[in-house]
Structures are given as C-alpha cells and as structure tokens.
Amino acid sequence: MDFYFFLNAIGFGIGLAMDAFSVSMANGLNEPKMKTGKAAGIAAVFACFQIIMPLLGWFCVHTIASAFEAFRPAIPWIALILLAFIGGKMLYEGIRSKGEEEKTAVGIGALFLQGIATSIDALSVGFTISDFTFLMALTECLVIGGVTFLLCFAGVFIGKKFGTRLAGKASILGGVILILIGLEIFLTGIFG
C-alpha cells in the first residue's frame, strides 16, 4: 500500500460517490430544516453501503464469482426501479401538496433503499480489486467510504440551501432528480 494505492482509492471513492452525493442533495432539498446529526446519519448510511458493496464484490470473486456474473446485468435495472419508486413517491407528494410548505422527512426505509440503489454498482469494484489481500481490499473500501461520507455530508447541506429557497417545490425537484439519477445509472449500465 503506497501513495498510488490511496490515490486510486480516493479516485474510486469520488467516482462511486457521485450518485450518492446527488441523492444526498435531493434529501437536503426535500428537508431544508434537517439537523446536522441527521445529515451525518444520511452520509453515514451511504458511506456504509459504499464500504460493504465493494467488499461483497471482492468476496464474491473469491467464492461465488460465476453467480455474481449472472447477477451483473440486473444491477442497472435494480437501481432504476428503486430510485424511480422513491423519486416517484416524492414527486407525487410534492404535486399533491400543491406548493405548501414541505413537511416530509427522509425515512429510514427510503434511506436504505437509496443506499442500495446508489451503491449497487460498487459491487463491480470487487472485481477490480480481486487481486488484493483482504486487508488491502478493506483499506480501499474504507477510503471509498470516507470519501463518500464527506461528499454526501456536503451534498445534504447544498440541497438544504437550495431547499430553503425552493420551499413548496423541493419535493417535486428532489423526486425528478432521483428519477434522473436512476435513469443515468440504468443507461450507463446498459450502454456502458
């Protein structure tokens, strides 16, 4: 483990965290009065999923690689379905409220679905680090998780700032953003 190892891990972290960062912004947008502790909790959930998924991928390569390969084509579909469902729900609630002040908060169930949807592509990182020892793979994943935490924490506050300005329309915009992120993951996964 040298400088380039950590530089590579930071690069992976930034690349993998972009979807989670965008969803964090949507969460902040949807709940502009969110407290710092909850923002940290949201960032921690995304970071944990970004740690677990590549490790799970690494484990699959070392144990059940053929079964994981069969699962890989479904990853873009799963992300699209989860984010479209959550985004559609936010959109519906935003339209139904007719521009009234937002009172919806990100629930733990929705947050876990967001964590899965935004990190499922990180399973494939397990293939790229398959020649690492377990300690190296764990270190790489912890760096990825740290980068994800920092970006998502910042994302929530960026979303909150805009959410305050867009009170009454934040849920609609947040829902549209989640659906677009789901489509982006889907199209990138299908067409490369």
Using the structure block, give the residue that is written with the tokens 């009454």. Answer: 168
- Per the model's pLDDT, the better-predicted residue between 115 and 127 turns out to be 115
162 and 34 Cβ atoms separated by less than 8 Å: no
Predicted confidence at residue 77, as pLDDT, reads 80
55 and 135 Cβ atoms separated by less than 8 Å: no
Question: Which amino acid, 63?
Answer: T
Joined together, the tokens standing for residue 31 give 């709940």
Over residues 118-176, the pLDDT tens digits come to: 887 777 777 777 778 999 999 999 999 999 999 999 999 998 887 666 655 666 766 77
The secondary structure of residue 100, as a DSSP letter, is P
Predicted confidence at residue 86, as pLDDT, reads 72
- Per the structure, the complete domain to which residue 187 belongs is given by 3-191
Predicted confidence at residue 44, as pLDDT, reads 96
pLDDT surpasses 70 at 99: no
Predicted confidence at residue 51, as pLDDT, reads 95
Over residues 13-44, the pLDDT tens digits come to: 888 788 888 888 888 888 888 899 999 999 99
What is this structure's pTM? Answer: 0.72
Most confident of 32-36, 40-44, 67-71, 111-115: 40-44
Mean pLDDT computed over 3-21: 84
- Per the model's pLDDT, the better-predicted residue between 86 and 7 turns out to be 7
Cα within 13 Å of Cα(16), Cβ side: 37
pLDDT surpasses 80 at 89: no
Report the number of distinct structural domains present in the chain: 1
Predicted confidence at residue 165, as pLDDT, reads 66
- Per the model's pLDDT, the better-predicted residue between 63 and 170 turns out to be 63
Predicted confidence at residue 174, as pLDDT, reads 66
DSSP labels for 167-179?
A: TTTHHHHHHHHHH
Using the structure block, give the residue that is written with the tokens 């959930």. Answer: 45
Distance CA 116, CA 179 (A): 15
Cα within 13 Å of Cα(185), Cβ side: 34
Mean pLDDT computed over 92-113: 71
Predicted confidence at residue 31, as pLDDT, reads 83
Predicted confidence at residue 105, as pLDDT, reads 67
